[in-house]
Amino acid sequence: MAVAVVARAGRLALEDPVLAQAAVQVQVQVGLVEEEDSQEEALVEAGSYTFNPDSIKSLIQNIESKTSLEVVAKVVKQSDDYPAVFPRLSLFLFFSAFLALSIFGLHYFLNTLAVVSILIICLLVSFLLSKVSLFKLAFILSQESSEEVRQKALESFFEHNLHSVKTGSILVFFSLLERKVEIIYNHQVEEKSSPEDWSKIISNISSHLKSKNINTALESAFLDVETLLKEDFPPHQSRKNALSDEVIVE
């Protein structure tokens, strides 16, 4: 479209300079719209979070160019289906309904059919609400979510072959529903760092995630990782990139 406008402007310049100028202005506006569209397409939305996959890829390539580390970033919507949420929510609604009826003195009028009807309604409503992130999160135990995120991160570490890397390997794992971050690393990295170091890095990531921008959190995390490990994992000229630098989204 822009090329056609340029050609048209060239012909108009010989006929009418005013029309030619208008055609050039149209071309500029078209170019601006296309540029805005490309920027919008670069951003990926995951729940209430946003991130730019190309930018994250650049961050990974940057830290891998300055160290001998293999780094993978993975973003998942949730670490588990949490099937226990449905019965918990059902019981909560069922007893809440009876409590409400008792407060208004209506429980004396309940019969078997009414109780069964209330139970069925509570089950149906619970089934629908258990699919909503806000309600699901409210009925997940804190320890339960921490264990599931940790387990999913460990599975991902092996799934994406970070365990087979001969040098240091690190997985930065985001689970958005639980709003938790896990960092899994191999024994080479473990030997050169302490749990306290990683606790500080995860805490820093979590504070940056308040802005709902994963890129900002990763940029801070990779800077901390580089500062922590660059002396123990210097870059090698013969190093080959064993794993993809693309952010993994599930």
User: Along the 250 residues of the chain, how does pLDDT read in single tens digits?
Assistant: 443 333 333 443 434 544 344 433 433 333 433 434 433 345 455 556 777 888 888 888 888 888 888 899 998 989 999 999 999 999 999 888 888 877 776 666 677 777 788 889 889 988 998 888 888 888 898 899 999 999 999 999 999 988 888 888 899 998 988 888 899 999 999 998 888 998 888 888 888 777 777 888 888 888 888 888 888 888 877 667 778 888 888 8
What residues contact residue 229 under an 8 Å CB cut-off, 6+ apart? 67, 69, 168, 189, 192, 193
**The pLDDT value given to residue 135:** 85
Ranges of each domain in the chain:
2-42, 44-80+142-249, 85-138
Angle between helices 214-229 and 195-208 (to 10 degrees): 160
- Do residues 167 and 70 lie in contact, with contact meaning Cβ atoms separated by under 8 Å? yes
Bridge partners, 71 (sequence order): 170
Bridge partners, 213 (sequence order): 50
What residues contact residue 169 under an 8 Å CB cut-off, 6+ apart? 69, 70, 71, 72, 162, 163, 185, 186, 188, 189, 243
**The pLDDT value given to residue 27:** 37
Instruction: Give the span between the Cα atoms of 122 and 91, in whole angstroms.
Output: 8
CATH code linked to domain 44-80+142-249: 3.10.310.50
**The pLDDT value given to residue 22:** 40
Query: What SS3 string covers 29-96?
Result: HHHHHHHHHHHHHHCEEECCEEECHHHHHHHHHHHHHHCCCEEEEEEECCCCCCCCHHHHHHHHHHHH
Instruction: Give the span between the Cα atoms of 97 and 227, in whole angstroms.
Output: 56
**The pLDDT value given to residue 44:** 54
Q: What is the model's pTM?
A: 0.73
**The pLDDT value given to residue 137:** 85
User: Which tokens go with 163?
Assistant: 């365990």
Residues, the chain, total?
250
β-strand 248-249 against 70-76: which pairing, if any? Answer: parallel
Residue 181: what are its φ and ψ, rounded to 5°?
A: -125, 135
